[in-house]
Amino acid sequence: MTPLDEFDLAASTVTGLVSGTSAWDAPTACADWNVRAVVNHLAHGNAKVAFWAGMGPPAPEGDYLGPSPVEAFTASVAAARSVLASPGLFERTVTTPLGEVPGVFLVHMRVNEYVVHGWDIADATGASTDLLPELAARALEQWRARFGSAPRQPGGPFGPEVDAPEGATAADRLAAFLGRKAVSG
């Protein structure tokens, strides 16, 4: 599977979750964010791809969903994919909040965001959290390599690791590693 295939699979899965929800105000495992805020965060991240790729201006903070959140999110995914499919991007060096990296890293960033926040949306809306098992397992490996056993910064985007439930899926283990506790019970 190519990096763009992985992007397409993760984006399609999350778009399906977004398209299937009416629970925009439902709380999520992300402190202070409801489903709409998580989806807006993903759309904002999609907008940042062009800037990180050196192909557009910075994406300002704000509402990226407007009155039609599903359509706006879907459009943000298409815009990000268009940038990610740009000839030569994967081989170029791009600047991200994580530093100078090969352009293909932008795909990995989006895929990891889709898997993690897809879990948040699924959990909040009562959908299955058994999302993208291979991609979730790979994301967990990447996050474990990045964080190791180092303590997480208070107030940061990830809380301390929590215990995954018995028989947890790869996505459930990833969420637990990133400090997420299910809100759906």
Render pLDDT for 3-57 as a digit per residue (tens, 0 to 9).
Answer: 999 999 999 999 999 999 999 999 999 988 999 999 999 999 999 999 999 999 9
Compute the distance between CA of residue 47 and CA of residue 103 in angstroms, rounded to an integer: 16
- pTM higher than 0.85: yes
Cβ atoms within 10 Å of 165's Cβ, excluding its own = 11
User: Average pLDDT in the 153-168 region?
Assistant: 83
SS3 readout for 68-79? CHHHHHHHHHHH
pLDDT of residue 98: 85
Distances in Å between the alpha carbon of 56 and those of 61, 62, 69, 87?
A: 15, 17, 23, 16
pLDDT of residue 106: 96
DSSP 181: -
pLDDT of residue 185: 61
Q: What percent of the chain has pLDDT over 70?
A: 98
pLDDT of residue 57: 93
Q: Is the pLDDT of residue 156 over 90?
A: no
In this structure, is the dihedral angle defined by the CA atoms of residues 101, 93, 53 and 107, taken in order, positive or negative?
negative
pLDDT of residue 160: 85
Q: Is the pLDDT of residue 149 over 90?
A: no
Q: Which CATH superfamily is domain 3-178 in?
A: dinb family like domain (1.20.120.450)
User: Average pLDDT in the 140-148 region?
Assistant: 87
For tokens 């499919």, name the residue: 85
Q: Residue 128 has which token pair?
A: 């299955």
Q: Pick the residue with more confidence: 16 or 157? A: 16
3-state class (DSSP) for residue 22? coil
Q: Is the pLDDT of residue 79 over 80?
A: yes
Distances in Å between the alpha carbon of 138 and those of 39, 132, 145?
A: 22, 10, 11
For tokens 């925009």, name the residue: 24
Beta-sheet strands, E only, within the chain: 93-96, 99-102
Q: In this structure, are residues 21 and 35 in contact, taking their beta carbons and an 8 Å threshold?
A: yes
Confidence of residue 103 (pLDDT cuts 50, 70, 90): very high
